[in-house]
Structure 1
Amino acid sequence: MSHINFINNISFIISAISIFTIKITLAEISPQEVELLETNLTPIGAEKKGNSTGKIPEWTGGIKKTDIPVTFTKPGQHYPDPYPQDKPLFTITVNNFKRYSKNLTKGQMALFYSYPKTFNMPIYKSRRSGSLPSFIYKNTYKNSTTAKLINNGNGFTGAYAGFPFPIPKNGLEVLWNHIVRYRGIYIKRKQVIASVHRNGNYTPITLLQEAYFHYYNPHGNESTLGNVYIYYLSETLAPARLAGSLLLTFETLDQVKQPRLSWAYDVGQRRIRRAPNASYDTPIDLADGLVTIDDVDMFSGSPNRFDWKLKGKQEIFIPYNNYKLVSPSLKNNDILKVGHINPDYTRYELHRVWVVEGTLKKGKRHIYFQRTLYLDEDSWGIAIADLYDIRGKLWRVNMAYLLNYYDQPTTWTSLDVYHDLQARRYFVGGIANEMKNYITFSNIPPNKSYFRPAALRQKGRR
């Protein structure tokens, strides 16, 4: 597999944020604030109203069942564009990007400098397509009065099957909304990942992935959740030299209390081994050093090595409604180009985003000194992450190309793209244009015994 200005009678929240301390994270929100989730705010805490210029529209519920294209007929199908009539309003290029700098991140502007002849951003009409199942709205409202950070912000209590902090008081609460955001209950998908070299060459790697989002178990509750909130299984299908390798991961909420658990099946040795402690800035093997473990999903894992500051809200051009990128009419070569993905198939829109800045704590180790995250207000997903090296120099910019999987519905990424500005290489995850089936969602997860090391051995022998 996501970034910020409240209005009218809630504007005081933002102005006060800068003086909040860690003690405030334990304070409950007021009854007046809770009522905003049924009036000025959407059910998950975004501003309902559009912006002052009208370029960001009012949220009216996002994509509904009646908005789903009639050509979408079965689960697993590639998602037809619900806005096929939309054309770019204008295109931002190296020649005019400074004019729009207040609506761009530093990472986006760096891409214009890095690839002046080829990188551009087609800007479309902003459509607030974000929508979620009604049970998410119901649980989020309930969570808003009970959720609290615990263990110095390494976890939370008092929340289940919804966003824990729809009216956040600090950066950690915003980050936890992203980490546990709704992406379905059980998913299965094939995808291609690729590390693209300076000359545009790449070797596609095909994965079959399954994920059970245990936090959203429809038959569970907070008391049955435990510390594991995602069960993840990945099988490498191609190329032949890697085919048959398996990875099983238990993603834990409090990774200080209980680190992420991983097992790998080595097809050559035909045995299972406990994977080393895969966390923080450990490089991902299949990403050619371009992605760290906590880069996955724009940010994942423990937040404890950084001090997180909520900077407020901004209006930023972020990747949104990127249905063209998942079209089965495209080939991998149509998308993967020198320096960046093909901008002809991308779509950017102006949206309000929460901005959270993480600065490496004194005495802690990480390859990043700072990370600035931009979270879509209508989904809590990180859309853009600007990452700085230990010298404080912009190093990487990662972007999630969001769309609404409207049969669920949920706003999630289509492609995740990780740019290394210094190496002039990039990594892409989520490519599925050439797959017969795209992604399937189910509200009936497998038994948890399916996600056990012993089952991994049986699967590897088939």
Structure 2
Amino acid sequence: MKTTMMKMGVLALSLLASSVMAAVSQQEADKLGTTLTPVGAQKEGNADGSIPAWDGGLKPGAAPVDSNGFLGDPFAGEQPLFTITAANAEQYKDKLTPGQLAMFKRYGASYKIPVYKTHRTASMPQAVYDAVKKGAVSTELTDGGNGLANFTETRYTPFPIPKSGVEVYWNHTNRYRGGNTTRHAAQVAPQTDGSYALVEYGDELSYPQLMDGINPNQASNLLYVYKQSITAPARLAGNVTLVHETIDQVKEPRMAWIYNAGQRRVRRAPQVAYDGPGSGSDGMRTADNTDLMNGAPDRYDWKLVGKTERYIPYNNYQLASPKHKYAEIIKPGHINQDLTRYELHRVWHVVATLKEGERHIYAKRDMYFDEDTWQLAEADHYDGRGQLWRVGEGYAVNDYQHQTPLNSMIGIYDLISGRYNVIGMTNESKKATQFVDRTRMNDYTPAALRNAGIR
């Protein structure tokens, strides 16, 4: 009996270890802010100096900001160090992703990557840095990596010193984004000749720790709430989508509702998840392609390949500028690469492979996460045949006024059809993204959708 009880004890400990994975030690966490940046990146530069040391990032006032909140370009006077084209891409292939190399093959002379001097501009408030360091020694993976324990008090970057691929992904989904935000933005899904129709929308993102009137029990597994209200074209205007994004979506699936203005009805929307069609994208992206990838990690096996150096979109202030109209940005096959900026940065390379028995149109996602922000910069999507299908890029900027990393826009390029989708453009909006101190949970309920959807 004694032997049997000992075996049962060992089994229980084994099961516990598989369901809850330990956080890092205090000794490891003490590296944050010393040899590592406060969110876990290597503080020093690389060996040849092409990536500099992190010195705190950009500060407020780094460049003039206009009356509507649009950021000026701190590096407006810089010229590319060199430009990668289809003719010389082979020379730089060790710093390019498979998707970028495929873009050169697909589009030839029209596609280019202008490479600029690297600036490590990422900066966040001290309160965020303090929360990350505190959470590093307490936050744990649960449910085989599908959830987080001991996280809701700290909320940001749960694994600044990651040990697995899924931990890197959790850092991306829980990175600091400046708190509650509202904006008016646009997306397009151009035809192969570059012609397009704008889909315009307002969206709101709010976090439970920055909301009033929220039930503590509800907040314990709530990551954020998101509302999108389409304003154009007329056939879609008035439609509203509401999402309650949960942390552990296996325990409690994402809850989504859609208000259809034509029917004047609110309905549950289970398709707003995984590979359901992205709203207003003409089928050019999935629901979980928003933010390049979002939502539950449960359908994939996650492999941490390691850290590497890649040319990724960075400091894309020109691409975000109101000086450039949408017609100047949107071109056949891909956006106007003359307006883009790429820099050499260290990235975490993670591969997510679809689990046996699970379903998703992407059988593999090959991803590169910026070490300074945890923002997903490059994502290659493979179909069930193992063929590279879609290439995703996040065109990063750092909002130095609010000390938060953002994307000026996100592109998903379909190598087979020659079409693409760009979401999150604000160039022609009246105001830049707005930051809101507090919001109310009552504004993000199914009952509130109908009022938000009046044409």
TM-aligned CA distance change 1:218 to 1:129, over 3 Å: farther
- What's the secondary structure of 1:59's corresponding residue? coil
The partner residue of 2:138 within 132, 142, 146 is 146
- What's the secondary structure of 2:331's corresponding residue? coil
| Cα displacement (A) at 1:280 | 1.1
Whole-Å separation in 2 of the counterparts to 1:122 and 1:292: 28
From the CA coordinates, give the structure whose radius of gyration is larger.
2
TM-aligned CA distance change 1:217 to 1:138, over 3 Å: farther
Whole-Å separation in 2 of the counterparts to 1:327 and 1:98: 32
Whole-Å separation in 2 of the counterparts to 1:328 and 1:452: 33
Are the equivalent residues in 2 in contact too, given 1:259–1:277 (CA < 8 A)? no
**1:51 alignment partner in structure 2:** 46
Are the equivalent residues in 1 in contact too, given 2:381–2:389 (CA < 8 A)? yes
Whole-Å separation in 2 of the counterparts to 1:385 and 1:322: 18
**1:11 alignment partner in structure 2:** none
| Cα displacement (A) at 1:38 | 3.0
TM-aligned CA distance change 1:142 to 1:396, over 3 Å: same
Whole-Å separation in 2 of the counterparts to 1:219 and 1:162: 22
The partner residue of 1:87 within 65, 68, 79 is 79
2:443 maps to amino acid: Y
Deviations 1:242-271 (A, max 9, x none): 111111111111111111111111111222
The partner residue of 2:244 within 250, 256, 275 is 250
**1:359 alignment partner in structure 2:** 353
Aligned residues: 437
Whole-Å separation in 1 of the counterparts to 2:413 and 2:339: 18
Does 1:121 find its partner at 2:113?
yes
Q: Percent identity?
A: 44
Whole-Å separation in 2 of the counterparts to 1:93 and 1:44: 34
Does 1:456 find its partner at 2:440?
no
**2:4 alignment partner in structure 1:** none
**2:90 alignment partner in structure 1:** 98
| Cα displacement (A) at 1:222 | 8.9
| Cα displacement (A) at 1:224 | 7.1
TM-score, scaled to structure 2: 0.92
Are the equivalent residues in 2 in contact too, given 1:105–1:316 (CA < 8 A)? yes
Whole-Å separation in 2 of the counterparts to 1:333 and 1:107: 25
1:124 maps to amino acid: Y
| Cα displacement (A) at 1:64 | 1.2
Are the equivalent residues in 1 in contact too, given 2:142–2:149 (CA < 8 A)? yes
- What's the secondary structure of 1:115's corresponding residue? helix
Are the equivalent residues in 2 in contact too, given 1:306–1:361 (CA < 8 A)? yes
Whole-Å separation in 2 of the counterparts to 1:394 and 1:162: 32
| Cα displacement (A) at 1:188 | 0.7
Deviations 1:122-176 (A, max 9, x none): 0000000001111110000000100100111111012223211000110111110
The partner residue of 2:303 within 309, 316, 319 is 309
The partner residue of 2:56 within 55, 61, 69 is 61
Aligned ranges 1:93-242 → 2 under 5 Å:
93-159=85-151, 160-214=154-208, 225-242=219-236
Whole-Å separation in 2 of the counterparts to 1:276 and 1:224: 19
Deviations 1:75-111 (A, max 9, x none): x521110111211111000011111001000000000
| Cα displacement (A) at 1:215 | 5.5
1:36 maps to amino acid: K
**1:5 alignment partner in structure 2:** none
**1:264 alignment partner in structure 2:** 258
Deviations 1:297-341 (A, max 9, x none): 111111011100100001000000000011111111100000100
**1:28 alignment partner in structure 2:** 23
- Structure 2: stretches of 5+ with no match in the other structure: 1-16
Deviations 1:9-64 (A, max 9, x none): xxxxxxxxxxxxx8497123233311211321000000000000100000000011
**1:410 alignment partner in structure 2:** 404
Whole-Å separation in 2 of the counterparts to 1:163 and 1:281: 25
Whole-Å separation in 1 of the counterparts to 2:302 and 2:265: 41
TM-aligned CA distance change 1:401 to 1:215, over 3 Å: farther
Whole-Å separation in 2 of the counterparts to 1:348 and 1:88: 9
Whole-Å separation in 1 of the counterparts to 2:20 and 2:38: 21
- What's the secondary structure of 1:172's corresponding residue? helix
Q: Which has the higher contact order (CA 8 A, sep 6+)?
A: 1
**2:420 alignment partner in structure 1:** 426
Whole-Å separation in 2 of the counterparts to 1:165 and 1:221: 27
Q: Which moved more, 1:379-388 or 1:30-39?
A: 30-39
| Cα displacement (A) at 1:68 | 2.4
| Cα displacement (A) at 1:459 | 2.4
- What's the secondary structure of 2:189's corresponding residue? strand
Are the equivalent residues in 2 in contact too, given 1:25–1:169 (CA < 8 A)? no
- What's the secondary structure of 2:110's corresponding residue? coil
- What's the secondary structure of 1:414's corresponding residue? strand
TM-aligned CA distance change 1:361 to 1:62, over 3 Å: same
- What's the secondary structure of 1:353's corresponding residue? strand
Are the equivalent residues in 1 in contact too, given 2:189–2:422 (CA < 8 A)? yes
Aligned ranges 1:266-345 → 2 under 5 Å:
266-345=260-339
TM-score, scaled to structure 1: 0.91
- What's the secondary structure of 2:108's corresponding residue? coil
| Cα displacement (A) at 1:285 | 3.9
- What's the secondary structure of 2:311's corresponding residue? strand
